[in-house]
């Protein structure tokens, strides 16, 4: 089967994923918060970023590589952290870590993923990043950082845009509870999606394995790890960032930065990069689009900027790279690819993104992702 003719774009992978997943899993993956205005705004604002088409430049040799934390990376994009990804596809973390390692791009493991740093250690490449939902207890913090480090994670990502849990109404409507409970309704949805159900049955119900150790040791016999994820974590403050800076020797990235003044202050504290993100619209429904804040944040700091939220192809990456991002991450898209195609999904997505980058770079006469032409603000697109 020629994957490119059946699934030429992320939208095709998303459609196929929706067909293959039980509705409650699809809603967990795809949903945002509120009326999803922020998610819509991310898309609309990206669509307004244009370039002038370039002509008469002759054949171009395109280079997709870039440099981050002093290391050369072959592609300007990687895998964002996604909690409970094992619920989306069996062994999602393993598949993603291996595909990212094969392509030489970053893979970020979430604290609340369904596999632990130790599980993933044999599958990691050079670009292994660990995302921290910050534990309150200092002993747990120190232990978690040590575990991430000895498993081979080099970059630490502190997520700061989840000061409290958000409401995801679509998810709630689908019958998914916090903590997840297998109700008759969810069971019926599961049985109607046999590929997914069989995969899960083979591996057992996913749960948050990184946290297992602390749950038995600290919280007695509370039964749900999903709920415990929230009990263990704190809402970090500036001192917490300082504490991390003092306890982690490698690069630290702060994820969820949307204010230029926060960018300045974080740079002064000695972090290594900022991840400009509105969590794909999953946290706050009155947030500006990530791409709208990027130029101001670029002006406020000289730190490398990582960008995510709503990236649906190579053109979106070029838009963000041209407006000041140094690196791009995708969350949902990698999971659409897995749910649509299973193990070959992530490699196919990487291929789509490479081809789309090259094709659009040809249109704007760019040979290098680190020096792109100026953008132009476009008017609304009208569909006939
Ligand atoms: C996320 N995201 C996320 N971020 C994080 O720091 N820790 C986490 O555990 C999670 N979990 C998570 C679950 C799911 C299902 C999704 C879709 C997202 C946010 C993620 O890292 C990233 O910021 C967004 O997904 C980016 O937007 P796109 O690429 O999905 O549009």
Cα 144 from chain centre: 21
The SS3 of residue 308 is coil
Q: Residue 131 gets which letter from DSSP?
A: E
- Per residue in 57-73, pLDDT (tens digit) is 999 999 999 999 999 99
Confirm if 36 and 281 have CB atoms less than 8 A apart: yes
Cα 367 to averaged position of ligand 1 atoms, centre (Å): 30
pLDDT confidence band for 327 (50 / 70 / 90): very high
> Cα(310)–Cα(289) distance, rounded to whole angstroms?
9
pLDDT reported for residue 202: 86
Using the structure block, give the residue that is written with the tokens 């960018």. 263
Which residue ranges form the domains of the chain, and what is each CATH number? 3-361 (3.20.20.70)
**Whether pLDDT at 257 is above 80:** yes
- In the chain, the DSSP E strands lie at 49-50, 66-68, 71-73, 77-79, 107-110, 128-132, 155-159, 252-257, 273-276, 305-307, 327-330, 376-377
Cα 33 from chain centre: 16
Q: Nearest to residue 187, comparing CAs of 353, 338, 22, 352?
A: 22
How much is the pTM? 0.96
**Beta-carbon-side half-sphere exposure of residue 333 (alpha carbons within 13 Å):** 27
The set of residues, in sequence order, having a beta carbon less than 8 Å from that of 373 and lying 6+ positions away, is: 51, 52, 54, 322, 364, 365, 366
pLDDT reported for residue 222: 44
> What angle, 0 to 180 degrees and rounded to 10, lies between the N-to-C axes of helices 138-151 and 238-247?
50
pLDDT reported for residue 179: 67
Nearest CA to ligand 1 atom 15: 29
Q: What mean pLDDT value characterizes the chain?
A: 94
Pocket of ligand 1, beta carbon within 6 A: 28-29, 80-83, 110, 112, 131, 159, 255, 277, 279-280, 282, 308-311, 330-333
Which of 38, 81, 113, 336 is the pocket-test mutation for ligand 1 (most atoms within 8 Å of CB)? Answer: 81
The SS3 of residue 318 is helix
Nearest CA to ligand 1 atom 3: 82
Q: Binding site for FMN, residues?
A: 81-83, 110, 131, 159, 255, 277, 331-332
> Cα(139)–Cα(147) distance, rounded to whole angstroms?
12
> Cα(91)–Cα(98) distance, rounded to whole angstroms?
11
Cα 333 to averaged position of ligand 1 atoms, centre (Å): 10
Cα 331 to averaged position of ligand 1 atoms, centre (Å): 5
Nearest ligand 1 atom to the CA of 159 is 6
Cα 168 to averaged position of ligand 1 atoms, centre (Å): 13
**Beta-carbon-side half-sphere exposure of residue 17 (alpha carbons within 13 Å):** 26
Cα 283 to averaged position of ligand 1 atoms, centre (Å): 10
Confirm if 48 and 294 have CB atoms less than 8 A apart: no
- Per residue in 337-371, pLDDT (tens digit) is 999 999 999 999 999 999 999 999 999 999 999 99
Which of 96, 156, 278, 280 is the pocket-test mutation for ligand 1 (most atoms within 8 Å of CB)? Answer: 280
Token pair in block for residue 341: 């195609």
247 catalytic, yes or no?
A: no
């Amino acid at each position: 089967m020629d994957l490119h003719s059946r699934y030429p774009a992320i939208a095709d992978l998303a459609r196929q994923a929706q067909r293959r997943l039980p509705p409650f899993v699809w809603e967990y993956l795809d949903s945002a918060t509120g009326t999803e205005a922020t998610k819509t705004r991310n898309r609309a604002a990206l669509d307004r970023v244009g370039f002038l088409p370039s002509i008469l430049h002759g054949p171009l040799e395109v280079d997709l590589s870039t440099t981050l934390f002093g290391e050369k990376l072959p592609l300007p994009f990687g895998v964002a952290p996604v909690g409970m990804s094992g619920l989306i596809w069996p062994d999602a973390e393993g598949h993603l870590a291996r595909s990212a390692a094969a392509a030489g791009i970053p893979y970020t493991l979430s604290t609340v993923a369904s596999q632990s740093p130790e599980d993933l250690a044999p599958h990691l490449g050079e670009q292994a990043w660990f995302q921290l939902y910050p534990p309150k207890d200092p002993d747990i913090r120190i232990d978690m950082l040590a575990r991430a480090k000895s498993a081979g994670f080099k970059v630490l990502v502190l997520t700061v845009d989840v000061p409290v849990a958000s409401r995801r109404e679509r998810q709630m409507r689908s019958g998914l509870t916090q903590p997840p409970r297998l109700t008759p309704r969810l069971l019926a949805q599961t049985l109607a999606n046999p590929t997914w159900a069989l995969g899960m049955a083979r591996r057992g119900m996913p749960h948050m394995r990184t946290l297992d150790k602390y749950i038995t040791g600290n919280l007695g016999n509370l039964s749900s790890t999903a709920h415990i994820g929230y009990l263990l974590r704190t809402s970090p403050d500036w001192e917490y960032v300082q504490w991390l800076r003092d306890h982690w020797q490698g690069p630290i990235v702060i994820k969820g930065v949307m204010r230029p003044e926060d960018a300045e202050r974080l740079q002064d504290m000695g972090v290594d990069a900022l991840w400009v993100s509105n969590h794909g619209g999953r946290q706050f429904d009155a947030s500006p689009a990530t791409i709208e804040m990027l130029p101001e944040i670029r002006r406020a700091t000289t730190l490398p900027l990582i960008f995510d939220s709503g990236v649906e192809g190579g053109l979106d990456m070029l838009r963000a790279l041209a407006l000041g991002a140094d690196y791009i991450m995708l969350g949902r898209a990698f999971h659409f690819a897995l749910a649509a195609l299973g193990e070959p999904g992530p490699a196919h997505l990487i291929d789509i993104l490479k081809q789309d980058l090259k094709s659009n770079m040809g249109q704007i006469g760019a040979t290098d992702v680190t020096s792109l032409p100026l953008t132009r603000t476009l008017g609304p697109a009208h569909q006939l």
